[in-house]
Chain A
Amino acid sequence: MTFAGWPLAELFAVFGVASAAITGLYLLRMRRREVVVPFSALWNEVMRESESRKLWRRLRRVFSWLVQLAILLLICVALGDPRPSVWIREPTTLAIVVDASASMSAWSGHDHSRLDVALERARAELAALGPADAALVVIAGSEVHVPVPLTREPWMAAPRLVGIESTPGEADFAAALELAHATLADQPGGRILVVTDGALDAPSRVALDRCMSEGPHCELVLAQGPTDNVAVTAFAARRYPRDPEHAEAIAQIHNFGDEVAFVMLVVRSADVTLARRPISIAPGTSQREIVPNIESAHARLEATIEAPSENDVARLGPAIDDTAYAVVPPLRPLDIVLISDGTDLFLEAALLTLDDHVRLTGIHPDDVSAHPSLADADLVIVDVGDRPLPRPLPDVDMVIFDPARQDSAASPVAVGRMLRRPFLTEQARAHPVLEYVVFKDVNLARASSFVLEPGDVPLVSSLGEAVVVLRERRHRTLLFGFDPRQSDLPLRVAFPLLIANTVAYFERVRPGFVAVVPVGEDRELALAELGLASATDASYVEIELPPYAERVGTVQRITVERGRMRIRPTRLGIHRVRARGGTADGAQAELAVNQVGVQASELRASIDETRASVAEAPSAAPVQQGPIWTLLLLSATLLLAAEWLGYHRRSTV
């Protein structure tokens, strides 16, 4: 506190003289006025008073004298024009960036979350600012928002920092710091204060490094706590390929702590508990748990880890990553078009055995050019025998038998040479297309070898020359270099297995179902990937958000262009996507949104902690609004008025 007005010596002198004068006047005032009354007996009857009241009357006179001295003191201090030191320094503009990522919801070790500690620090910083200072507060969650825009009255903004919660996923520090930089660009004394626990992802670390290395002055404050955490870092479900009425779920649980963690994994669907499994996880490791044989009717799954006892709850870390969600992929038949002249009954029979999964359409080779089924087909099988390949080939996934029989140039994969009665010597046993299928003793009359390009997968070879090739480009193409009619393969049990494996492979890898979307990430999705293949002409979708936080049932509206949309989910849980407009108006699908991954649940600092400021929170400025002398004079006036009203209010007679 500094006195900018009268010097202290003069103030003491003024106070001394004036207090002596007040005391003298009070001694004179102690003399009571005499009032003559004609009938004192009646007054005596009315004015009986107790001894305590008499004592109070005497004390009140002393109190009144003290009040007058207090008023004098206030006036003298006002003359001195006191000013806190925070008023005298150069004005500053403070941008406080508070980390509100998922890790900030972890316990700080003092009955508060890390976010609570960070917000408390932010409030302390705001309270320490003077009347010439300005401040803004940026909350960096999965989205950036500004609860306190740039204000010249920062001490008034503290109530706006109430009710802020951490968001799932990582903090978008890049956007938050960019916003802070932009705001401070034209402000005097710019200063950025980043309050975080240090558990940042790579983009945030880069943004923070840039902030601390470039102007304006950037300061880091850590709000940390215990780092024990067990999280569900992945959760997904799939239907069994051969039993689509059942599904299995896989959950990955990671122990971030330093001791073995014992948790209970619970998989639920709505209110039905599907599985409960006790799990022990070594420190720093992940463990996968598969929950098999789930009825596909349980379309929405929720995996939660629970502590075995109340004492272990703290070791689970923040609750935000203790639950993950998954959606069982919807069942949709595979549209297969068979281009055949009808002479390969073995192939047709093998395909017809898959009728639950396959919607088979047969096309004669002569009708290929104008047939509408080809455009919507998931898989086209070309088995034209001695006829030439259709030109052009449809732009979809294809299986082609003996592509070089008539014209080797027509083959989508370059053909090497013709092999007479080749021995099939090598095959990729691990490939799903060849599961339970053995080619080594299959007899072929002839076959064509293929010239492989980088990325091509030879599935079956004859002395090093690929006879069966899988090419994965924009679409996948499986080429058999022989005609089944010219082999004994259709007579073997392996043939329907090969066909079933092939269909299952294309079904599994077709651009399909997006099981899980990480929270906070900007993703472009095709409606087909959500199981809304029929709604590609929709004009927009309505996304009903999960009942997360207090905004239950909020609906977002997102525009769809050419069957694709861009979303950035900010809540965990299962989102309901409903197509609007187009031929499939009202078609509905579900989308699970989970934590970003292992890194998002890591509570340890990933930055150099030595760069953080060790300074304690500043103490609040004694008075934010000035000048103080006006307040002192106002106080003196109020005191004087109260004293007069309470004691001196009377008319002298």
Chain B
Amino acid sequence: MAVRTKLLGRASASGTWPGADTLFDESFLRRLELLQVVARRLFRGRHRAERKSRKIGSGLEFADHREYSPGDDIRSLDWNVLIRLGQPLVRLFEEDEDLPIRVVLDVSDSMGTRAGAKLRYAFQVGAALAYVGLANLDRVGLTVASRHVHSTLLAVRGKGRIFRVFEFLSDAPRGGATDLRGLCSRVAAESSQPGVTIVLSDFYDLRAFEGLNTLRVRKHDVVAIQVLDPVEADPRKSALRGDVTLVDCEGGTRRDVTLAPASLEAFAAAHDRFCSALESSCRASGIPFFRAVVDVPFDDLVLRMFRIGGVLQ
């Protein structure tokens, strides 16, 4: 039983989910502090909370011209254009606005297989990103959701609020089927102001990209992080063979199969194709996509994301 659980795990709403005591322990906090130091070095020289909104307003950076209309501030007139062309045009500036960061965590049953390794990893990455954001004086909110559960931590600011994040994650509800489309739609609907939305999931949903695209359409800067278990991605590593009944951890559908090396190889290839297709779709839509294997330490992943860019900038 122990070996079986170690290799594939069993879907369960209780018992195998990562708990608060082991999720954010002391070693995690130490690595988080180290991560903050590294992140500060990376962000040095930048203004805090200088994330540009897409609003045109009173910022410093020129955005566009428009014709003058009565009531406009006369200080906004572009005198050079008026003198040169004789047209009264008003200068528009991008408005600097403090954009929120929302970390969305998929807590469906598929994230809980193999003793919840993926979920644990997703929680740690999510907590780390939240910590970096809070330390960067951004407003950070969290959402954990599946088809059956949905819980949101409203955006908070300040490094000291990290423990609320931990508490939220530790007590968050879990389980249910994966429904990324519904999850993203709800997150988009709840957000009064579009911001950076980081989605952490295994994306084991044939309509995963539709959900991510929904957020993008709603003006969110979407970042997709696919959390993968190497044994699930390539079952040849599990030495699983013979006649078995495959039980879906979310839907409970059952299928009698005979697993031969060839079929396991075919699954690994199909899994790779599925992930590659999702990544291609995301990149084609300008959505940064990261593949996170649970074997890689979470802080390495976070730093890699910072180095590559596109996240928290």
Contact = CB atoms under 8 A, between A and B. Distances in A.
Binding partners A and B: yes
Given A44-B255, A46-B270, A34 B247 contact: yes
B193 interface: no
B3 interface: yes
B255 A47 contact: yes
A40 B253 CA distance: 8
A52 to B, nearest CB: 14
A650 B113 CA distance: 22
A649 B244 contact: no
A648 B241 CA distance: 9
Interface string A39-56: 111111111010000000
Interface string B249-261: 1110111111100
> Which of A38, A649, A653 is most buried by chain B, counting CB atoms within 10 A of its CB?
A38
Contacts of B270: 42, 45-46
A350 B269 CA distance: 119
Contacts of A57: 243, 258
Interface string A627-652: 00000000000000000000011110
Contact of B246 (A43, A648, A649): A43
Nearest to A45: B270
A218 B274 CA distance: 86
A394 B238 CA distance: 115
B242 interface: yes
B250 to A, nearest CB: 8
Interface in B18-67: none
Interface in A3-46: 32-46
Nearest to A649: B241
B8 A36 contact: yes
Provide the main secondary structure of the chain B interface: mixed
Given A46-B267, A47-B257, A653-B8, A40 B248 contact: yes
A648 B259 CA distance: 11
A496 B137 CA distance: 159
Given A42-B271, A43-B267, A36 B7 contact: no
B245 A653 contact: no
B263 interface: yes
Contacts of B11: 36, 38
Contacts of A41: 204, 206
B206 to A, nearest CB: 6
Contacts of B239: 650-651, 653
A618 to B, nearest CB: 51
Contacts of A35: 8, 240, 244-247
Nearest to B6: A653
Contacts of B246: 35, 37, 40, 43, 47
B244 A42 contact: no
Nearest to B203: A39
A35 B241 CA distance: 11
Contacts of A39: 110, 202, 204, 232, 248, 271
Given A45-B270, A47-B257, A37 B243 contact: no
Nearest to B269: A46
B241 A42 contact: no
Contacts of B263: 46-47
Nearest to B206: A41
B148 interface: no
A293 to B, nearest CB: 89
Interface in A246-282: none
Contacts of A45: 270
Contact of A36 (B113, B242, B258, B274): B113
B237 to A, nearest CB: 11
Contacts of B206: 41
B258 A653 contact: no
A36 B10 contact: yes
A36 B249 contact: yes
A340 B218 CA distance: 156
A459 B242 CA distance: 114
Given A35-B245, A46-B267, A40 B240 contact: no
A32 B244 contact: yes
Interface in B184-219: 202, 204, 206
A35 B271 CA distance: 18
Interface string A343-379: 0000000000000000000000000000000000000
A251 B3 CA distance: 98
B74 interface: no
B266 interface: yes
A648 B246 CA distance: 18
A442 to B, nearest CB: 120
A36 B9 contact: yes
Contacts of A650: 239-242, 259
B4 interface: yes
Nearest to B11: A36
B95 to A, nearest CB: 43
A27 B232 CA distance: 31
> Which of B7, B111, B243, B256 is most buried by chain A, counting CB atoms within 10 A of its CB?
B243
B255 A38 contact: no
A40 B251 contact: yes
A39 B274 CA distance: 11
Contacts of B243: 32-33, 57
A653 B240 contact: yes
Interface in A439-481: none
A32 B257 CA distance: 9
A65 to B, nearest CB: 14
B41 to A, nearest CB: 38
Nearest to A53: B258
A493 to B, nearest CB: 115
Contacts of A651: 239-241
A3 B245 CA distance: 47
Given A32-B256, A43-B246, A46-B267, A37 B241 contact: no
Contact of A42 (B111, B257, B259, B274): B274
Contacts of B110: 38-39
Interface in B97-141: 109-111, 113
Contacts of B202: 38-39
Nearest to B264: A46
A385 B274 CA distance: 138
A35 B248 CA distance: 9
B4 A653 contact: yes
Contacts of A649: 241-242
Contact of A653 (B7, B251, B266): B7
B180 to A, nearest CB: 13
A647 to B, nearest CB: 8
Nearest to B229: A38
Contacts of A38: 11, 109-111, 113, 202, 204, 232, 249-250
Contacts of A32: 243-245, 256
Nearest to B253: A40
Nearest to A29: B243
Contacts of B244: 32-35
Contacts of B253: 40
Nearest to B7: A653
Interface of B: 3-4, 7-11, 109-111, 113, 202, 204, 206, 232, 238-251, 253-259, 263, 266-267, 270-271, 274
Interface of A: 32-47, 49, 57, 648-651, 653
Q: Closest 7 A-B residue pairs measured CB to CB?
A: A650-B241, A650-B242, A40-B248, A38-B110, A39-B204, A651-B239, A32-B245
Given A38-B232, A38-B250, A653-B4, 13 more contacts: A32-B245, A34-B254, A36-B248, A38-B202, A38-B204, A38-B249, A40-B246, A41-B206, A42-B271, A45-B270, A46-B263, A650-B239, A650-B241
5 contacts: A32-B243, A38-B113, A44-B255, A46-B266, A47-B267
